[in-house]
Amino acid sequence: MTPSLPVLVSFPCFILLFVVFIPEGLPRSCPSHPHPTIVHHHLPYTMTAVTATNGHATNRINGTNGSDPRLHRAAELGDLISAVRQLIIPFVQAADDAAVDRSTGNVPQHVTGRSQNVLVDTHKPAELAAKLKFILPEEGQGKDGLLDGIEKVLKYSVNTWDQGFLDKLYASNTPVGVISDLVLSILNTNLHVYQVSPALTVIEKTTARALANRFGFTGPQAGGITCQGGSSSNLTSLVVARNTLYPECKTAGNTKYDFVVFTSAHGHYSVEKSAMICGFGGSSVWKVPVDDSGSMRADKLRELVVLAKEQGKTPLYVNSTAGTTVRGAFDPFEEISSVCKEFGMWLHIDASWGGPVVFSAQQRWKLKGSHLADSLTVNPHKMMNAPTTCSFLLGPDMRIFNKANSTTAGYLFHGNTDEDFWDLADLTLQCGRRGDSLKVALAWLYYGANGFERQIDHAFDMASHLYKLVQKTGNFVTLSSDLPPCLQVCIYHAPGGILSDDAATNTAKTRMIVEKLVHRGFMVDYAPGEKGSFLRVVVNVQTLPSTVEGLVQAIEEAAKETT
């Protein structure tokens, strides 16, 4: 019996928001034109002025001509949303309809013989550039040009709403996620000081603190901030670590210190980039060996720290991982914390991928010891399907973040009178920031923490279902002898369970399978391994049981075409 999918969304609410923006009395469509007709409000105001044939006013707009312009931005917005709605809803609907096809492992053919692949219309870069013909004009093309541009973007983009998108550590958005992005665009504010973003500031502090509490940061100053993705969160944590443990570096730079940063051999590449940005250099990042499951070995970490000290270097920071990029492994945080405490190092947990298991009673044991971290990154735009990007850097005490990152900017920051910081830019390396926390806050209101738990448990059920299916066929070799620790299932196609000893042969076969799967409506990735590249399939909270069943069938059929 295959697992069932929990009810994730109520799509009509998504449609409703667009409907309410359509002003009464505006025409919805025109038989002679492919796009809905609207009044051409190319300028968001009304005035008695001579206009060009394309509708753009040609004389003064500042009122000096004796008339006071009146704004009509709401009507224009309603017009455009009404028109765009007729492009984006079918885009998502096409992915919903294609879910049935994914169960077969094949893409249906059009009567013309052309493949009806909703997932992606593939072209090489030069070919795509010629097809798009995306030219930025001197004179605006108005609504028609806008809609044509959007139509092309949708046509030639990967439809991540499609069930066959199993390629990366993110997948489709959700209807409520689209709504949150729309609200943020309407507000169009900057989350740097409370004065200009009061509601979003309160929401960020509330949401970040609620997330921090889930990971065991329960003190009165616990919380976090949003950054522009997991790499940005990890970079910020490294800067906070250096400026906190060695405060003179905040103004004088790294000076006499030869810092060393430790990370799992399977850790994310952003750690090395962060070290480069901080002026440590890429060679300052020392890779710690992992065990057979892909988890960092705390004993090897200690050996490397001792070696660094013997060489006169300064061990600064350990980046541990909750859900590695390739295999999804979780590091032993309690053991790693002991080493950090022994040598006075900062412990960071990169939980960009695996962090949301904290919502699941069945899975959160994998985060045991997360409360011991000095900082933690989590990306809801990955496992939780929030709109990209959405990343939080959390910690047990936001006063530390403030002290490490604050600078003097009297034109912007007018001083906090208490320790409960409300001008959030002072806690970050950024000034301009979008209110990304709203994406999680509204989803939390919509689904609830229990809803998150059901979604995450379902995703793990799908990973388990896929793992068992490939084991049952006898034609695959899995990298793990047990159920995968996260949502990646890493496999080689190997008829009869016998894998070639030649890594190059295995790599070539894997790449050909990946290429052929696209034409069957599936996108998966591959990664290098000791025996050559293997398939890496990433399921998500919206993956259906029939999808993984169709995928296995598609891989088997694609593999036959490679021989």
Q: Where exactly are the structural domains of the chain? A: 74-120+159-170+474-562, 122-157, 180-408+416-445
The burial of 149, by beta-carbon neighbours within 10 Å (0-12 exposed, 13-18 middle, 19 or more buried), is given as: middle
Beta carbons of 360 and 460 less than 8 angstroms apart: yes
Q: Which of 461, 477, 463 is nearest to 551 (CA)?
A: 463
180-408+416-445: in CATH 3.20.20.70: no
State how far the Cα of 285 lies from the Cα of 280, in Å rounded to an integer.
8
Phi, psi of 527 (to 5 degrees): -145, 155
Beta carbons of 443 and 180 less than 8 angstroms apart: yes
The pLDDT mean for the chain works out to 87
Torsion angle of C-alpha atoms 182, 185, 186, 187, degrees rounded to 10:
120
Residue 428, amino acid: T
How are beta strands 375-378 and 346-351 bridged, if at all?
parallel
DSSP state of 115: B
74-120+159-170+474-562: in CATH 3.90.1150.10: yes
Beta carbons of 106 and 520 less than 8 angstroms apart: yes
Q: Is the peptide bond before 389 cis (omega within 30 degrees of 0)?
A: yes
* Terminal alpha carbon distance of the chain: 33
Paired tokens of 148? 């044509």
Matching fold, domains 74-120+159-170+474-562 and 180-408+416-445: no
Which residue(s) pair with 317 in the sheet? Answer: 261, 346
Q: What is the pLDDT along the chain (563 residues), one digit of tens a residue?
A: 444 444 444 444 444 444 444 444 333 343 334 444 444 444 544 444 434 434 544 344 444 455 667 899 999 999 999 999 999 999 999 999 999 999 998 887 765 555 679 999 999 999 999 999 888 999 999 999 999 999 999 999 999 999 999 999 999 999 999 999 999 999 998 888 888 889 999 999 999 999 999 999 999 999 999 999 989 999 999 999 999 999 999 999 998 999 999 999 999 989 999 999 999 999 999 999 999 999 999 999 999 999 999 999 999 999 999 999 999 999 999 999 999 999 999 999 999 999 999 999 999 999 999 999 999 999 999 999 999 999 999 999 999 999 988 875 444 445 555 566 787 778 888 878 899 999 999 999 999 999 999 999 999 999 999 999 999 999 999 998 889 999 999 999 999 999 999 999 999 999 999 999 999 999 999 999 999 999 999 999 999 999 999 999 999 999 999 87
Sheet containing strand 285-288, edge to edge, reads 223-227, 391-395, 375-378, 346-351, 314-321, 259-264, 285-288
State how far the Cα of 197 lies from the Cα of 435, in Å rounded to an integer.
9
Q: Which of 346, 352, 302, 347 is nearest to 322 (CA)?
A: 352
